[in-house]
């Protein structure tokens, strides 16, 4: 009996020790906007990190499908509840701004010094995520956007990539004559329509004035803005865009292109992965940067980043995990998970991802870019921007009235900041 008691005590002690060891394992929560195919690509990445770090388990949570329309609100709720993720995905500019202003995001300057991230990722992406002299995130993606088109449709009608806005307008008119929409857009959430309006503003106002509009240093109630809204209204009126698209989700907009009912869609470098996932023939899709008739020709581009909440209980572990995700040695092992990387020296296999190779060359060159408006404006202001642009698309707001209304919203927002 005495022997049994000793055995039982020893077994119990072992069980307690095992339990304590299990409890000592830290869980790092990673929140992203990854869709299902991307999550699949990331499974071996996280498995490798977990295997190499047995005291840590990284678990991914994702909010897919709506882009910046829903995800920040989900993140904001988790912050307010006191239970945020330890690492989270975020865009740059004013989408990240509210979290920084609220003191909810950890400044990473000390970690930059420790890990040397400023020498690892493309400098322009760091510039875009720096705020008030501090770095609050680590660039993950360098994203550019352009018009993706059906190669077979362009060849059928003897069309080539446009060099001027007039060339692009001629392409749209040519397709319209034969019952094909020039482009397909998903107006739900506002940001895909925004890409087209941003492009029009770049063409009608020019780079310098466009930048001033984004920073509210110039009035939106001016002729070049009216001209941008007028181009949007005219594209709708002329039937160049798939009709009634304001309630169409961006992910559904591509279907008209797949079916051949539309020739183009305004997407970023990630669209190559979408095409593969949707089993579309890659050789039948190329992209071009929409011509602006200005020098230099700028295109819409932005970084995406990893951030750490100030309330995370595992900041050092989170920073170490970000570093592991950022270094070239890791990314080169999982090229499909790290397409469009902001990390210097990480190149895609051009035989596997030819379009990503093209984007990489552009995004690491000295080509000029402009930010999408939803990264230039706060949520309150971008909601007003979406309201006005949608009114123009729906034919409820005339272009001149749209410019005046947008300026009124800008003035109201600035007055609120002063109060």
Rounded CA-CA distance 291/294 in Å is 8
Q: Which of 350, 346, 159, 148 has the alpha carbon at shortest distance from 258?
A: 148
Q: Residue 288, class by beta-carbon neighbours within 10 Å (0-12 exposed, 13-18 middle, 19+ buried)?
A: middle
SS3 304: strand
Q: pTM for this structure? A: 0.85
- Segment 348-365, tens digit of pLDDT: 888 888 999 999 889 888
In 201-321, DSSP assigns E strands to: 262-268, 285-288, 299-307
Question: What residue segments make up the domains of the chain, in order of their start?
Answer: 2-143+302-363, 146-300+372-418
| pLDDT classification of 2: cutoffs 50, 70, 90 | very low
Considering the segment(s) 146-300+372-418 as one domain, its CATH architecture is 3-Layer(aba) Sandwich (3.40)
Helix (H) / strand (E) element for 286: namely strand 285-288
Q: Which of 156, 158, 83, 116 has the alpha carbon at shortest distance from 323?
A: 116
| pLDDT classification of 14: cutoffs 50, 70, 90 | very low
Q: Which of 160, 208, 158 has the alpha carbon at shortest distance from 178?
A: 158
Listed range (123-127, 388-392, 411-415) with the worst mean pLDDT: 123-127
**What whole-number percentage of the chain has pLDDT above 90?**
81
Q: How far is CA 81 from the centre of its chain?
A: 26
- Cα separations (Å) of 370 from 57, 79, 200? 38, 30, 13
Whether the per-residue pLDDT at 1 is higher than 80: the answer is no
CA torsion, points 174, 272, 147, 223, in degrees to nearest 10?
Answer: 150
Q: State residue 23's pLDDT score.
A: 52
Q: State residue 8's pLDDT score.
A: 41
In 111-238, DSSP assigns E strands to: 130-131, 134-135, 137-150, 181-184
Rounded CA-CA distance 144/301 in Å is 4
Q: Which of 126, 134, 63 has the alpha carbon at shortest distance from 92?
A: 126
Whether the per-residue pLDDT at 396 is higher than 60: the answer is yes
Rounded CA-CA distance 329/371 in Å is 30
Q: State residue 24's pLDDT score.
A: 67
Considering the segment(s) 2-143+302-363 as one domain, its CATH architecture is 3-Layer(aba) Sandwich (3.40)
Whether the per-residue pLDDT at 165 is higher than 60: the answer is yes
Question: Which residue is it, tokens 């660039």?
Answer: 139
- Segment 251-307, tens digit of pLDDT: 999 999 999 999 999 999 999 989 999 999 999 999 999 999 999 899 999 999 999
- Segment 16-60, tens digit of pLDDT: 444 444 456 899 999 999 999 899 999 999 999 999 999 999 999
Q: Is the dihedral of CA 209, 385, 185, 128 positive or negative?
A: positive
Per CATH, 2-143+302-363 and 146-300+372-418 having the same topology is answered yes
| pLDDT classification of 13: cutoffs 50, 70, 90 | very low
């Amino acid at each position: 009996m005495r022997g049994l008691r000793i055995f039982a005590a020893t077994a119990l002690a072992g069980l307690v020790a095992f339990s304590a060891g299990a409890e000592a394992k830290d869980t790092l929560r990673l929140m992203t906007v990854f869709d299902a195919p991307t999550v699949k690509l990331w499974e071996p990445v996280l498995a490798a990190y977990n295997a190499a770090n047995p005291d840590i388990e990284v678990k991914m949570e994702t909010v897919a499908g709506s882009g910046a329309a829903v995800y920040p609100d989900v993140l904001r709720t988790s912050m307010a509840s006191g239970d945020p993720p330890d690492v989270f995905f975020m865009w740059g500019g004013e989408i990240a701004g509210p979290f920084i202003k609220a003191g909810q995001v950890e400044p990473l300057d000390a970690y930059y010094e420790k890990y040397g991230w400023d020498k690892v990722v493309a400098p322009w992406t760091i510039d875009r995520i720096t705020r008030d002299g501090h770095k609050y995130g680590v660039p993950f993606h360098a994203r550019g956007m352009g018009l993706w088109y059906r190669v077979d449709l362009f060849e059928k009608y003897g069309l080539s990539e446009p060099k001027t806005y007039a060339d692009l307008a001629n392409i749209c008119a040519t397709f319209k004559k034969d019952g094909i929409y020039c482009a397909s857009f998903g107006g739900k959430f506002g940001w895909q329509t925004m890409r087209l309006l941003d492009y029009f503003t770049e063409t009608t106002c020019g780079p310098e004035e466009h930048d001033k509009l984004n920073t509210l240093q110039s009035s939106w109630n001016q002729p070049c803005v009216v001209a941008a809204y007028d181009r949007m209204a005219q594209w709708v009126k002329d039937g160049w865009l798939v009709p009634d698209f304001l309630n169409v989700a961006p992910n559904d907009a591509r279907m008209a292109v797949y079916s051949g009912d539309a020739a183009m869609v305004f997407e970023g470098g990630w669209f190559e992965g979408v095409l593969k996932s949707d089993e579309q023939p890659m050789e039948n899709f190329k992209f071009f940067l929409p011509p602006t008739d200005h020098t230099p020709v700028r295109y819409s581009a932005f970084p995406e980043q990893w951030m750490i909440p100030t309330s995370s209980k595992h900041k050092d572990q989170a920073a170490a995990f970000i570093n592991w995700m950022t270094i070239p040695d890791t990314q080169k092992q999982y090229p499909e998970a790290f397409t469009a990387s902001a990390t210097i020296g990480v190149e895609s296999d051009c035989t596997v991802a030819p379009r990503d190779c093209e984007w990489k060359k552009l995004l690491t060159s000295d080509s000029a870019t402009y930010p999408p408006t939803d990264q230039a404006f706060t949520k309150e202001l971008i909601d007003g921007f979406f309201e006005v642009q949608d009114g123009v698309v729906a034919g409820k707001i005339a272009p001149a009235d749209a410019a005046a209304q947008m300026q009124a919203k800008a003035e109201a927002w600035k007055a609120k900041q002063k109060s």
